[in-house]
Copies of this chain bind each other. A is one copy, B any other.
Amino acid sequence: MKNKLFCQSDQKSLADIIFHRRDIRGNNFSNTPLPQTTLDEILLSAQLAPSVGLSQPWEFVIIRDKRTKNIIAKSHQVESELAKTEFSDKKQTLYSQLKLEGIKEAPINIAVFYKPSPEPVLGKHSMPEMGEYSVVCAIQNMWLTARALNVGLGWVSILNPETVKATLNAPKENKLVAYLCLGFVKEFLDTPELETLNWHQREPLNLIEEKYSI
């Protein structure tokens, strides 16, 4: 299969998957269990992601246990109340109406860690963030693969990464990059919820030709 070439139908499939990917929250997960084969396909796509110097610096923790989910959900609540105070009064009212995560509702949660290599890594010397960035590439592969399998994925960033690490007994050197919620959904919305609810609008791309003008 050397030099595999893709055709218009492949290109259309990918463009549609990218267009229809959404962040899924607790108001939209169904309680249908997720088959192991589906989870395996999603994880395989992570394994095939690019990584700096082929270092594959990721670790995935699969969480199904309700007690664990409850502790993480509590951390979300605490951090969400703290974060809310950053916004204007008007935005705070809207913030309170938003459902921003599906930790308890999703059948599967996945904590995704960056695990730094003890050895030097090709390509990381002048940009040390490349390790974490590799993990994010893996997560985006998972997000698209989940969507193609008609499975919802939500990325929860409103929580305390140290609480997640402690709850999972994660090694000290690991860094939490993402906490993901995974499961079938009631529906995939056409438009991001934050846009529909007027939190923020989608914008044209910030594109500069050659150089910023000074």
Chain A residues within 8 Å of B, Cβ to Cβ: 1-6, 9-11, 13-21, 23, 41, 43-50, 52-56, 58-65, 68, 79, 82-83, 86-87, 95, 98, 100, 115, 120, 122-127, 129-130, 132-133, 136-137, 139-141, 143-145, 147-150, 155, 157-161, 167-171, 176-178, 187-190, 192, 194-195, 199-214
Residues of B within 8 A of A201 (CB): 54
Given contacts A46-B205, A177-B133, whether A212 and B13 have CB atoms under 8 Å apart is no
CA distance A158 to B122 in the complex (A): 9
Interface contact B3-A187, CB-CB below 8 Å: yes
**5 new A-B pairs (CB below 8 Å) besides A18-B141, A65-B210?**
A6-B149, A10-B17, A15-B41, A43-B207, A140-B140
Task: Say how far A42's CB is from chain B's closest CB, in angstroms.
Answer: 11
CA distance A210 to B177 in the complex (A): 17
Interface contact B50-A155, CB-CB below 8 Å: yes
Interface contact A168-B82, CB-CB below 8 Å: no
CA distance A195 to B50 in the complex (A): 13
Residues of B within 8 A of A53 (CB): 194, 199-200
Minimum-distance CB pairs A-B, first 6: A83-B125, A140-B140, A13-B13, A86-B120, A136-B136, A10-B13
Given contacts A11-B148, A148-B11, A192-B54, whether A212 and B170 have CB atoms under 8 Å apart is yes
